Structure 1
Amino acid sequence: YHGNQDVYIIPVLGGVPKRITYQSFSDRMVDWHPNGEQILFASRRMMGQRSANQFFLVSKNGGLPEKLAIPYGELASYSPDGKQLAYITKITENYPFKRYRGGLASDILIFDLESRVVRNITNNHANDGKPAWAGDIVYFLSDQADDMRLNVWAYDSKQGSARQITKFKDFDISFLSAGPKELVFEAGGELYMMDLATQVYRPVQVNVISDLSAEIPRSVNVENRIQNMTAAPGGKRIVFEARGELFNVPVKDGYTINLTQSSGAFDREPAWSPDGKLLACWSDRSGENEIYLHDTQGKAEPRKLTNRGAGYGYALYWSPDSEWISFIDEKNDIYIVETESGTSTKVANTLWNLGHGSRHGYPINWSPDSKWITFALGAENANSAIFIYDVENKLLQQITSSFYNDVSPVFGAEGKYLFYRTDRNFAPHYSDMGDGTWVYPNATQIAAIALTEDVPSLFTPKNDALEIKEENEENNETEKEKEPSGDKDSASEKDKDDLEVKIDFEDMETRLMLLPARAGNIGNLFPFKGKLLYQRFPNTGSENRTSSLILYDMDKREEETVMEDVGSAALTADGKALLVSSRRKYGIIKPMPGQKIKDAIPTNGLVMDLVPKEEWHQLFIDAWRRHRDFFYDPNMHGLDWAKLREQYGALVEDARTRWDVTNIMSNLAAELSAGHTYTFGGDVERVSPSNTGYLGIDWELGNNNLYKIGRIVQPAVWDTEIRSPFDQPGVPIEVGDYIHSVNGVTLDPTKDPYAAFTGLSGQTVSLVTSKNGNNADAKQYIIKCMSQGEESRLRYLEWIENNRKMVEDLSDGKLGYVYMSNTSGRGQLELVRMFYGQL
């Protein structure tokens, strides 16, 4: 309700919810204590190890929560007498990995709250979870049976034995809960109730009257969901892809057209033909991803160009004559498609799996005469080499040796040179840690190869000379100046139509030249007459975090900045200008220095008519298709994937919110029993968080019913990145001191102490404290509250230091301790930070 997940209570017949806990950290309701006066919840509010929760008990009337003497806990259920607690330390029964068998598999533990003895009542390699204690029986979910389906099991706490109760085969059971006389659970989208006396269960018919507001069709502005874009010849209109719709938008004046208008289909990767007549895109409107050709005015039905069936294609590249389209697919195969007949020809395969991210925008470039395409393919030494394919003769030839990594080739605008990126500037950067390690970042340079032997070097020595014109030449020049300006463009177009690209393949790499452009993190080459534009991204180690568009002038032989702070860039369909984005603004710029977006392309007209139910069905089918097309095992781990589409797809019709759809897709993916198959995002209901201010302390409630500092969280003495405001020089506040008020608000002992710190994250506040709890002795101090992230980091550093001290003490100083949270950036930082300090 207030932006954070907190504990609330509400009368069963309805009423105003009463807030019990106050925290930016998630406080998740777990169970009622059998006395009916206290609530058990799980939270990370005092946790150093950030991947687990702890149990807290709080009065139903509010107040200071009490942490239980259990190191970790997620879900739990009290015994009827309240003396024992059945709990789990990890939630894996709902993990998107069905039939999981690994280190995270959970067991059901019983903790005796008086003796503090723990016993494991399942002790197996299966997933056991959702304990629900009723009488002498602990009910729980487990997939320990041979079919590995989550079903209800019962553990008899008197006899110490367990047996299976339900035997669902098609769906796992979830959301198990016990009442006084019944057990309730969910399976396959239906609720079931089981009589505890007979252990007989039956489906429950639930009739909920609702306005189904999440399903109401509505207009949605999608300008913040732009994924891809393409510009018409001349750059007067743009097609944006946003949320699966294609919008034809004017650069300045005019109206916006939604070319697709279908919530039930996803249209993507638009590409405008060079002749301006057609727009190509991928669409799943047929049930599979196929290429469609659209009338750019949206007046005619799109024409389905391909019949590929299963599979996924990426960016589409038109040939200059608008007769061919090229692309790469999910199998790393490169194709060209004839736009008249739809005939597809496989050109090559990249050898190495590029991955989904690298295939997006994988560059395939056409020669100006549409007779050749060029691209990079992986070599056996793990580098890439440049290849050229002869469209007419269907001949593929390698033109660089792969001794260096060569990628992203493009033909020059005049058809005389081939430009590409090559990683060969090896300037080592040495570590400052004295370990002798080094890396070779920012190694990319730009290379050019003359396509024929008679094409001169780009760096032929210049020689200034006096130019003497004859009289008739001067007259000719005068006549040319009188020609209409349009004739020059017409002549240029005629020259382009007559252009024929010739290539001498023999010893082609020997004609290689390196442009004197500064080496670095270079990408996206754009050829123009006499110029080459490219994006220069921030170098490794650079403080700059934005990319620039750079121009290399072949005549001047120098770099010039076209535009700063460029997000993305693409050639217009005729190759004469660039469509760029910068901080969510879009514009057309010329290939000249000093460009900027003066008048941003209007995107406020990107409004779609959304029919949620249609989109939900599309999302589900797309999730099913993507797993079919991308999963590493074509046999789908032995599953009948088509059957699972029908089984889980039938549930989508009963979905009432986007969360329901996400849950269905997550369970479908989990059937593969594979890791890292997560589902998230979408139009789920959200609220703005209310950020709590923190002090880096554990609270206590004194005998005088006033809140005081029970403990100050302290990391290692050398960890200075974050400290409690009470662990700072010159602050005389200590453990045991009382905190009376913050910003004039007295701390209420009947509420969580953090209630007074709501909205104070990172804020400078006035604290009134005392040594003895007497207002007469209280003093005011000005301190700055910490944020949730700072509080979490502080407790994390303290937890690491406590572990290090324990290892040091137990080993008599012979062992060091390094905590690596993961194998990416954060874990690597901790490794270096702690390793060298303990040598």
Structure 2
Amino acid sequence: MTRTLLASFLILVTSTLQAQEPIRFARSPALSPDGKTVAFSYLGDLWTVDAKGGVAHQLTRHEKHDFNPIYSPDGQWIAFSSNRHGQYDVFVVPVKGGRPKRLTFDSADDHVTGWSPDSQNVLFMSGREIDLPFRTELFTVPVTGGQPKRISVWEGRDGAYSPKGDLIAHVRGPGRWYRRGYHGSANDDIWLCNADGSNNRQITTHKGQDIYPMWSADGKSLFYVSDVTGGQANIVKKNVGRHIGEELGGGPLLLPVAVTHHKDDFVRRARISANGQSIVYECGFDIWIHSIKDGKSRKLNIEVNADDQTNTETLKTFTTGTSEFAWSPDEKHVAFVVHGEIFLMPRNGGKAKRLTNHPAFDHGIAWSPDGKQILFLSDRSGHEDIYSLEPDDPDHPSLLDAHRYKIKQLTDTPEAEFGVMFSPDGKHVTFVRAGKLMQMDPDGGNQKTLVSDGQIFDYEWSPDSRWICYARADGSFASELFIIPATGATAKEPARNITRFATYNGGVTWSQTGNKLGFVSTRKGGANSVNVLSLQKPLAAGAFPNKEIDWENIHLRVKQPAPGMISQECVISNDGTKVAFRAEVDGSEDLWIANADGGSVTRLTTGNLKPTQIQWSRFFFGQIYFRDGNGNCRAIMIGGPALSEPNTLKFTAKMTVRQDEVFLEMFDQGWRALHENFYDANFHGANWKAILAKYRPVVQHCAMKEDLYTLIALMLGELNASHLGITGNLGSPDQQTANLGLIFDHKHPGSELKIVEILKGGPADQRGINLKAGDRIVAIDRVELTPQTNVSKLLNDKAGEVVALKVTNADGGSPRRVEIRAETRAKLNDPMYERWIARNAQRVNELSKGKLGYIHIPNMQEPGLERFVRALYSENFDKEGIVLDVRYNGGGFTHDQVLNYLTGKEHTLFVHRDGTSGLVFRSYDRKWHKPLTLLINNRSFSDAEIFPAAFRTLGLGKLVGEPTGGLVIGTRGITLIDGSTFSTPRIGIHTIKGVNMEKEGVMPDITLVAHPDDLARGHDAQLEKAVEVLREEVIAWKKTRPPAVGASGATNP
């Protein structure tokens, strides 16, 4: 049965049996205070149903995602989160229904977690007001509206008030709720704090996930979800008396005990009724209720009578958002892909003609040289194969004019193909299958292997169809370029390595003159750059040119026409004299050109256009085509007005889109990508095909993309692996909340805003702005601040505008007017981060009396590397030792570059006439050779785990802090049919001793866990311990130093 027939069948079943069969994949259930009613989210709306099951009543109806309902303890309200305004906000709605009331207005996501016992405040978590990544804090907002108040002091999620309201149980940690069986430091644990956020204490220490805390009716125990008792994660109960001052003895009472006993699937999103008698939760794809009194769990059968919120079949018109384009050989037409379908249109734009019509993802367009045939890739057979498309209309033989087309499948293998390309003479088709370079006839016949090396990822034909240049990886992130005859390598004409430079080499293009290659390579500086290789030696005076490749020392003829510029893509011009490339300069990725032999670099575009699929026109001299970051096909002429705006090929592409088909295709693409590429062929012990059978039928129950993302996350969680996930554009805030560059006292009891700090480099840190710590803001833009005022609402859409503040001094006095030009929330990140860095550096300086340095590396990518190098040489190279810090480092790929700067060894002294001496000249080539310590924690991810592992292997110093999480896999993202990004872990990372670093965190030499109360007070015990350790290392190092050298050059006694 084809996918289309299956989808139609599922729709028929859904529409005819909706009210007769229980629904599946209802989410985020909550019980009424008396435990008699269950609220839940389904089809993006909120519903309520009797706790015994039956037909549900619809509570909200909106096209956006209403989610996570929670009853107030008095049973009058239901709080929930919804992205009705782009981001998730907190809303409340009467339990009997009515118009929801919005309580939060910030452009950060706000997610409801609970209520205060008196039903006067909603507890929620939000990512606003943070100075480091990965942090979420707890806030309350009055049910009547007003300014939210921050509760937690250093991270808090999923908070729940105790019955008396004096304590809050909450979750801390970087864990993933959907990941099954993970045991490591990157997990979540449950903590308690006082109602004001103070006096934090850790309740659980299990290495697995401990989440969804719920209080018992007497306030002496916590229910939560954990796999601490073995097997699947279930609801467990733990006595917390000793954590709250109760004397209840020790022994077994303090150990968690199992409450539910599911064996086939795990429990999630558990919530207890206010009377403490029942717990409702998700398990598998159903809602369950557990009776605390009798200890029994039962599945809740729910029926709904629901109409579709939006049309399931929609006629969409696309005018942007192409994922690729391909010009016809005569450049009179352009084929392109939008939303997984292939369209064709004249070069002057207009209404595009649809060539394919299938729920599958059609892409990878390749024109035949005569323009009569298009080859493309599609997964319509269940795996990625090559198809041929030709006119099937004798009266209209051209592709643009034809009324009918014939599509023929040319390949049929379980392995995916990519990189389909015709030879320039049209006689052959080449492609890559399972890393091998393949060749076949244009009709799919005579398939054979040209190169069987198995790690080919890129190639290009020579314009005369005699040669093929391909890029082959070597398994260690390096690759080389080879050239073979078009018929395959032989003993006489073997595959020849033309780069002989064992870093990255790829993205090859061949000039139409046949004499030059353009490609991207990682050479000087460790970053990708543009390279041009001449296939012939320079002509001697009077010699006649020829087109034969001169193999002798060919690798030495590589030039870099744009040295120092980082580029990921380049294309050599037809005559081989210029190269067009994408480069990032000052944060803007745009199109540039350079002379192939060097000497001149010119910027062609501005505006961060993010050009890709760059192509030189063969018919319009000096014209370059490219696709911009918004999916528009653009064209620009070199030699025209400087930095002129490129022309946009305007199009209109119409198609009918069925949401159910799109969702099914997204699911299949993701599953198949892992089936073909997951780094462990045994899938960490999971039965990946059985997982497909388990989850795929549930796609039909997802009416919202948010629900589909959750379903896919559950599927990914079965692999118990890191670097998995799906992300996409689920909407952006209708209004962005601006920031003033001020930090306020969140414990201040008044309605005014009390300033505790002015952020350096922020909007308020400007000459002429008269503000200081202790000042109170009593009005914003003439709106007086009262308990009912929501400050975020006043600052929405104010970025770039002058905001007028009425300010009073700490000791009172007449108010004064202060004007600040507000900035976006995103611009708050840098000064907040710099504030944290400055405090750390200052503390190291104080403790070491200026003798030790401090460098935090925020990420293992180019920006983090650049920051590290600058800090090393401009601020720290004269220090006796350096505290390195990769806490809160999200990873990347630059561990080797960083290590390269840190692995200096003393071997020679340069001694001057006056007796001064040094090891080498002061330059960026100079390596650090003095003592180091390295700070790590459970938020040092991926490459920030490879780095400390290598740091230890190389003996560079001691590690201080917390174990890392063991989240280490080489990954790559793919784009799904709707534009979502899906991560595919492809490469395992092992230590030199052969230990797989995935699920094996790096252990510090000195373990010290940071406490949130200390961090909130600015006391970083890990940092202080690192300084203590480093000072001892410096003392020991000094004893190994060579003796001083006198002015005469003799060694002093």
Is 1:139–1:152's contact at 8 Å kept on the other side of the alignment? yes
Q: 1:819: how far off?
A: 3.5
Could you list the per-position Cα deviations for residues 134-189 of structure 1 after superposition, in whole angstroms to 9, with x for gaps in the alignment? 32442211123443x22222224463332222233443322111113321111222
Q: Using the alignment, how far apart are the partners of 2:833 and 2:646 within structure 1?
A: 48
Contact map agreement 1:587 1:597 (CA 8 A) in 2: no
Post-superposition offset of 1:440: 7.0
Is the counterpart of residue 661 in structure 1 residue 708 in structure 2?
yes
> Does residue 1:399 correspond to 2:496, yes or no?
yes
> Shift in Å at residue 673 of structure 1?
1.4
Indicate the residue corresponding to 1:300 in structure 2.
Answer: 405
Residues 578, 109 of structure 1: alpha-carbon distance in 2 compared, 3 angstrom cutoff: same
Q: Cα distance 1:332–1:33, how it changes in 2: closer, same or farther (>3 A)? A: same
Name the CA shift for 1:246/1:42 in 2 (closer, same or farther; >3 Å): same
2:339 corresponding residue in structure 1: 243
Aligned AA (2:693):
E
Task: Give RMSD over aligned pairs.
Answer: 4.1
Residue of structure 1 in register with 2:420 after alignment: 316
* Secondary structure, aligned partner of 2:302: coil
Contact map agreement 1:4 1:24 (CA 8 A) in 2: yes
Instruction: Tell me the amino acid that sits aligned with residue 212 of structure 1.
Output: D
Matches within 5 A, 1:374-385: 374-378=469-473, 382=478, 384-385=480-481
Q: Report the alpha carbon displacement of residue 269 of structure 1 after superposing the two structures with TM.
A: 0.6
Q: Tell me which amino acid in the other structure corresponds to 2:365.
A: P
Change (3 A) 1:173 1:393: same
Contact residue 167 and residue 195 of structure 2 kept, 8 A: yes
Q: List gaps (5 residues or longer) in structure 1.
A: 429-438, 451-456, 465-500, 715-719
Compared CA separation, residues 366 and 333, structure 1 to 2 (3 A)? same
SS of the aligned residue for 1:314 comes to: strand
For residues 733 and 404 of structure 1, the distance between their equivalents in structure 2, rounded to whole angstroms, comes to: 58
Provide the rounded CA distance (Å) in 2 between the counterparts of 1:561 and 1:696.
Answer: 42
| 1:547 paired residue among 581, 591, 594 | 591
1:43 aligns with 2:126: yes
Aligned CA distance change for structure 1 residues 166 and 392 (closer, same or farther; 3 Å): same
Instruction: Report the Cα offset of residue 284 of structure 1.
Output: 0.6
Counterparts of 2:690 and 2:626, CA distance in 1: 44
Q: Which of 438, 449, 452 is equivalent to 2:535? A: 449
Q: The residue matched to 2:720 in structure 1 has which SS?
A: coil
Give me the whole-angstrom Cα distance separating, in 1, the residues matched to 2:475 and 2:792: 60
Q: Do 1:420 and 1:446's aligned partners in 2 also have CA atoms closer than 8 Å?
A: yes
Q: Is the 8 A contact 1:91 1:129 kept in 2?
A: no
Note the residue ranges of structure 2 that are not aligned, 5 or more in a row: 1-83, 242-252, 391-398, 880-1053
1:634-783 equivalences under 5 Å are 634-681=681-728, 684=730, 687-699=733-745, 707-714=752-759, 720=760, 722-723=761-762, 725=764, 727-771=765-809, 777-783=814-820
- Distance in 2, matches of 1:631 and 1:115, equals 42
Matches of 1:377 and 1:701, distance apart in 2? 60
Matching residue of 2:580? 535
Q: Tell me, yes or no, if the aligned pair for 2:736 and 2:825 is still in contact at 8 Å.
A: no
Residue 467 of structure 1 aligns with which residue? none
Residue type of the alignment partner of 1:581: F
Matches within 5 A, 1:550-561: none
Q: Is the 8 A contact 1:74 1:91 kept in 2?
A: no
Distance in 2 (CA, whole Å) between partners of 1:196 and 1:574 is: 78
Per mean C-alpha deviation after superposition, the further-off stretch among 651-660 and 313-322 is: 313-322
- In the alignment of these two chains, the number of paired residues is 754
From 822, 825, 835, give the equivalent of 1:785.
822
1:80/1:383 CA distance change after superposition, 3 Å = closer
Name the counterpart of 1:284.
Answer: 379
Q: Does 2:213 align with 1:131?
A: yes
Q: Is the 8 A contact 1:386 1:400 kept in 2?
A: yes
1:260 pairs with one of 356, 374, 378 = 356
- Partner-residue secondary structure (3-state), 1:781: strand
Q: Is the 8 A contact 1:379 1:385 kept in 2?
A: no
> Offset of 1:312 from its aligned partner?
2.5
Q: Helix, strand or coil for the counterpart of 2:107?
A: coil
In structure 1, what is the equivalent of residue 448 of structure 2?
Answer: 345
CA distance in 2, matches of 1:562, 1:71: 46
Q: In structure 1, what is the Cα distance between the partners aligned to 2:871 and 2:144?
A: 45
DSSP 3-state at the match of 2:287: strand
Q: Is the contact between residue 741 and residue 762 of structure 2 (CA under 8 Å) also seen in structure 1?
A: no
CA contact (8 A) 1:261 1:609 kept: no
2-structure distance, mates of 1:513, 1:48: 49
CA distance 1:707–1:118, change in 2 (3 Å): closer
Q: Say which structure, 1 or 2, has more relative contact order (CA 8 Å, 6+ apart).
A: 1
Contact 1:139 / 1:155 at 8 angstroms: preserved in 2? yes
1:234/1:145 Cα in 2 relative to 1: closer, same or farther (>3 Å)? same
Distance, in Å, in 2 between the alignment partners of 1:544 and 1:72 is 34
The one-letter amino acid of 2:819's match is I
Structure with higher Rg: it is 1
Deviates more, 1:392-401 or 1:658-667: 392-401
Structure 1 residue matching 2:459: 3-state secondary structure:
coil
8 A contact 2:321–2:632 mirrored in 1: no
Q: Which amino acid is the alignment partner of residue 656 of structure 2? A: D
| One-letter amino acid of the structure 2 residue matched with residue 326 of structure 1 | T
Q: What is the one-letter code of the residue matched to 2:328?
A: A
Measure how far apart 1:72 and its partner are. Answer: 2.3
Q: TM-score, normalised by structure 2?
A: 0.64
Q: In structure 1, give the amino acid aligned to 2:234.
A: N
Q: Which of residues 832, 835, 842 in structure 2 aligns to 1:795?
A: 832
Shift of 1:564: 6.0
Write out aligned runs for 1:105-504 (5 A): 105-111=187-193, 118-136=200-218, 137-147=221-231, 149-157=232-240, 159-179=253-273, 180=275, 181-214=277-310, 216-252=312-348, 256-262=352-358, 264-295=359-390, 296=399, 297=402, 299-309=404-414, 311-329=415-433, 331-349=434-452, 359=457, 362-368=458-464, 370-378=465-473, 382=478, 384-391=480-487, 397-400=494-497, 402-404=499-501, 413=512, 417=515, 419=517, 421=519, 439=525, 444-450=530-536, 459-461=539-541
Aligned-pair CA distance for 1:205: 2.7
Match of 2:656 among 594, 609, 619: 609
Change (3 A) 1:319 1:552: same
Q: Cα gap change, 1:379/1:647 in structure 2, threshold over 3 Å: closer, same or farther?
A: closer
Is the contact made by 2:763 and 2:821 (CA closer than 8 Å) also made in structure 1?
no
Partner of 1:431: none
Distance 1:460 1:216 in 2: 70
Gap change, CA 1:448 and 1:623, over 3 Å in 2: same
Change (3 A) 1:372 1:440: closer
Q: Distance in 1 between matches of 2:475 and 2:301?
A: 62
Instruction: Kindly state the Cα deviation for residue 86 of structure 1 after the two structures are TM-superposed.
Output: 2.1
Q: Determine the C-alpha separation between the residues in 2 that align with 1:547 and 1:120.
A: 53
**Does 1:76 find its partner at 2:159?**
yes
After TM superposition, give the deviation of residue 380 of structure 1 in Å.
9.8
3-state SS, counterpart of residue 5 of structure 1:
strand
Report if the CA contact (8 A) 2:267-2:281 is conserved: yes
- How far apart are the structure 2 equivalents of 1:551 and 1:205? 71
Are 1:90 and 2:173 an aligned pair?
yes
TM-score (norm 1): 0.79
2:670 corresponds, among 606, 614, 623, to 623
Q: Which amino acid aligns with 2:222?
A: V
In structure 1, how many angstroms separate the alpha carbons of the residues matched to 2:134 and 2:811? 37
For 1:23-34, list aligned pairs within 5 A: 23-34=106-117
Distance 1:209 1:47 in 2: 43
SS at match of 1:238: strand
Structure 1 residues 772, 823: closer, same or farther in 2, change over 3 A? closer
